């Protein structure tokens, strides 16, 4: 068999119905580009997310916003195939939007959207893919932190940074950032490239955040916003069958992200003939 290329206009004749709460955040690439234009955002920096945002994520976004001199931050929350232990989709999306609603990002500088994509955990190669996808969504910049799209310790911490050194211009600029952590000497969340107390750093690691959530602790705002934790708990009860993390019950009984409406095939066939 030889490869065959098919070209031409693609027409979607039976669009899916996006179910709540995702319906408020889903837009096609064209619709999203139009939204960014209406917002007056000529510079847009994308944040790829598959997690509930802790203080490190918040400052990653704010730091990239400053570095790129952007008009706004587009959170592109990955909604797709889940494995046990992941955050449930609803918690990811609603907690990110909460950062805007609670005023941690000024209205008009932060927008949450969804991307229906199953993570491949391909590290630097997936970082390139993410950049191209967000370019298509209308972004001019894309932030890349430590271990972007990695899994465990398989990739070097900043492999996703170095891959862009060997690539031609992709039409979207990479904002490469180091790690954000809490420093008890500085008494604040601070940046690896700025803080002079690396031996005192307290990592804002996913295991710490999970322990706080699972243990019912009340976190310091330098770790996890109380408002974010409240939404996480609400999502656990409303969508996660009691847990904000993916469990077997969630995988089997959750409301799907989208539903396919029935289609009158006879009408389609008659039009085609």
Look over the chain and give the mean of its residue pLDDT values, rounded to a whole number: 93
Full-model pTM = 0.91
The values of phi and psi at residue 141, to 5°, are -140, 155
Q: Residue 266: what pLDDT?
A: 65
Q: How far apart are CA 18 and CA 25, in angstroms?
A: 9
Task: Compute CA 55 distance to the chain's CA centroid, rounded to the nearest angstrom.
Answer: 15
Q: Residue 218: what pLDDT?
A: 86
Query: Helix (H, G, I), strand (E, B), or coil: what is residue 212?
Result: helix
Distance (Å) of CA 270 to CA 10, 251, 260, 266, 273: 20, 39, 22, 6, 5
The active-site residue out of 19, 24, 33, 50 is: 50
All structural domains of the chain with their residue ranges: 40-253
Query: Helix (H, G, I), strand (E, B), or coil: what is residue 107?
Result: coil
Instruction: For 14-27, give one letter per residue: b (16+ CB within 10 A) or e.
Output: eeeebeebbeebbb
Q: How far apart are CA 133 and CA 143, in angstroms?
A: 13
The active-site residue out of 19, 39, 51, 136 is: 51
Our separate counts of H helices and E strands in the chain read 9, 10
Taking Cα atoms as reference points, which of 258, 250, 246 lies closest to residue 119? 246
pLDDT tens-digit series, residues 112-162: 999 998 888 899 999 999 999 999 999 999 999 999 999 888 999 999 999
267 pLDDT exceeds 70?
A: no
Q: How far apart are CA 59 and CA 181, in angstroms?
A: 9
The 3-class SS string of 11-50 reads: CCCCCCEECCCHHHCCCCHHHHHHHHHHCCCCCEEEEEEC
> Is-catalytic flag, 50?
yes
> Is-catalytic flag, 136?
no
Residue range 253-267: mean pLDDT, rounded: 85
Vertex 224 angle, CA 234 and 126, to 5°: 90
CATH number for domain 40-253, candidates 3.40.50.620, 3.40.50.720, 3.40.50.1000, 1.10.3720.10: 3.40.50.620
pLDDT tens-digit series, residues 190-235: 999 999 999 999 998 777 888 888 888 888 889 999 999 999 999 9
Packing angle of the helix pair 206-215, 226-238 (nearest 10 deg): 70
pLDDT band for position 273 (cuts 50, 70, 90): very low
Is 77:115 a contact under the CB 8 Å cutoff? yes
Distance (Å) of CA 177 to CA 45, 223, 253: 13, 19, 39
């Amino acid at each position: 068999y030889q490869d065959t290329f098919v070209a031409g206009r693609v027409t979607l004749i039976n669009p899916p119905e996006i179910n709540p709460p995702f319906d408020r955040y889903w837009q096609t690439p064209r619709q999203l580009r139009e939204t960014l234009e209406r917002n007056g955002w000529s510079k847009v920096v994308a944040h790829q997310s598959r997690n509930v945002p802790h203080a490190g994520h918040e400052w990653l976004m704010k730091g990239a916003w400053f570095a790129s001199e952007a008009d706004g931050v587009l959170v592109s929350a990955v909604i797709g195939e889940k494995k046990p232990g992941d955050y449930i989709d609803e918690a990811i999306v609603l907690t990110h939007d909460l950062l805007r609603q609670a005023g941690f990002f000024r209205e008009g500088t932060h927008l949450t959207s969804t991307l229906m994509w199953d993570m491949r955990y391909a590290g630097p190669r997936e970082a390139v893919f993410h950049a191209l996808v967000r370019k298509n969504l209308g972004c001019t910049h894309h932030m890349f932190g430590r271990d972007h799209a990695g899994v465990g310790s398989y990739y070097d911490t900043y492999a996703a940074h170095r891959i862009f050194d060997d690539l031609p211009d992709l039409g979207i600029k990479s904002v490469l950032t180091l790690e954000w952590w809490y420093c008890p000497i500085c008494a604040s969340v601070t940046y690896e490239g700025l803080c002079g107390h690396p031996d005192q750093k307290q990592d804002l690691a996913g295991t710490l955040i999970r322990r706080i959530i699972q243990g019912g602790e009340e976190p310091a705002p330098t770790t996890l916003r109380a408002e974010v934790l409240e939404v996480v708990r609400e999502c656990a009860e409303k969508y996660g069958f009691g847990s904000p993390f993916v469990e077997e019950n969630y995988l089997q009984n959750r409301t799907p992200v989208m539903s396919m409406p029935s289609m009158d095939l006879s009408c389609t066939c008659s039009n085609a003939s």
